Amino acid sequence: MTIEFIDLKAQYRHLKSHIDQRIHAVLEHGQYIMGPEVAELEGRLAGYLGVKHAIGVSDGTTALLIALMALDIKAGDEVITTPFSFIATTEVIALLGAVPVFVDIDPKTYNLDPALLEAAISPRTRAIMPVSLYGQCADYDAINAIAEKHGLPVIEDAAQSFGARYKQRASCNLTTIACTSFFPSKPLGCYGDGGACFTNNDALANRMRQIRIHGQDRRYHHPVLGLNGRLDTIQAAVLLAKLDTFDEELAARDRIAARYADLLGDLAPYVETWNRSVYAQYTVEVANRAEVQAALKAAGVPTAVHYPVPLHRQPVLAGLALPAGSFPLAEAAAERVMSLPMSPFLNEVDQHHVATSLLRALQR
């Protein structure tokens, strides 16, 4: 018995005719770059989230980079973020020559702890970039209140939280700018790289649209520094097909998470009462992780670790000189977290096998 970690093939089988039709329409009309599906998707995404502007881009990392560029983040500026995320969150700050300033996490949700945020603000702070990790929003009311007091913009790294809700409001519509990823295994994924930026601010939207196409405002005229950050038309077509049933998938994620919680009891991840997680990862904590992973592997259950090394301990950021112990809660989580198979297409038999194998490995 082998179980998929995220079952994308089952999703394709379910949506095949719709997806194939959408892709073929692009192959037929031939507008592979910025074809009509890109604008159609942007309209649909904006409507789905209730946000004014959606801007399709090439991937989630570029979405974050474009957001920082639109906010004019420059060398020497400080951007506050979490040490417990995928490297992309910090990479884009460093690429601009800016300095990532880390704030430790709330160990229950793994998201940036707002109680520690204000102490990290300095005269050089230019933005705050929290991550909504594993599909659960950070505490944006608390974060936004501190940001507002200091006149700072907030960027939600919503690469894992498209579709999540925070106090009845949509992830991707909670902050100055939000950025998501449509990498295949994200909650809403395409069949290659893809991403989007979101904002309610007209001037920032206009800037991000320009930056996405080499900083141009009209053809061969470039008022600002940009890059090639466009979303492929074919990927937009795939996303349009998948968006039609996305709410059904979210309902399935809820059902599967509830079933896991029943089976796993207090091992189940903590979700704040005001949050609806999309479970981009279904992540538990175990003490003897390597052994548990090996036992699960032997039982045909794949697992993954998101993430084994906190960002301040990554060799590429050695220049920041942040020794072990700098962010103890992120470091402790990195030693213990382990993600289980999760997707809207995880069937009950397989899920039961995952849970019983885990409980057996833990001798519970």
Ligand X SMILES: *Cc1c(COP(=O)(O)O)cnc(C)c1O
Residue nearest to ligand X according to CB distances in the complex:
60
Q: In one letter, which amino acid is 210?
A: Q
Q: State which residue, 8 or 263, has the beta carbon closest to ligand X.
A: 8
The whole-angstrom separation of Cα 323 and Cα 343 is 37
Q: State which residue, 140 or 183, has the beta carbon closest to ligand X.
A: 183
Residues 202 and 195: beta-carbon distance below 8 Å? no
The whole-angstrom separation of Cα 289 and Cα 37 is 44
Q: State which residue, 48 or 183, has the beta carbon closest to ligand X.
A: 183
Residue 204, C-beta contacts closer than 8 angstroms, at least 6 positions apart: 70, 71, 176, 177
Rounded least distance, CB 59 to ligand X, Å: 4
The whole-angstrom separation of Cα 105 and Cα 289 is 21
Q: State which residue, 67 or 146, has the beta carbon closest to ligand X.
A: 67
Rounded least distance, CB 183 to ligand X, Å: 4
- Main-chain phi, psi angles of 181, to 5 degrees: -125, 140
The whole-angstrom separation of Cα 279 and Cα 261 is 12
Q: State which residue, 60 or 344, has the beta carbon closest to ligand X.
A: 60
Q: State which residue, 54 or 355, has the beta carbon closest to ligand X.
A: 54
The whole-angstrom separation of Cα 144 and Cα 53 is 20
Q: State which residue, 86 or 191, has the beta carbon closest to ligand X.
A: 86
Residue with tokens 């409980």: 359
Rounded least distance, CB 12 to ligand X, Å: 19
Rounded least distance, CB 123 to ligand X, Å: 28
Which positions lie near ligand X, rule CB under 6 A? 59-61, 85-86, 88-89, 131, 157, 159-160, 181, 183, 193, 195
Q: Is the dihedral of CA 27, 232, 277, 282 positive or negative?
A: positive
Rounded least distance, CB 8 to ligand X, Å: 15
**Sheet containing 53-57: which strands, arranged edge to edge?**
53-57, 195-199, 177-181, 155-157
- Main-chain phi, psi angles of 101, to 5 degrees: -115, 120
Rounded least distance, CB 229 to ligand X, Å: 11
Rounded least distance, CB 60 to ligand X, Å: 2
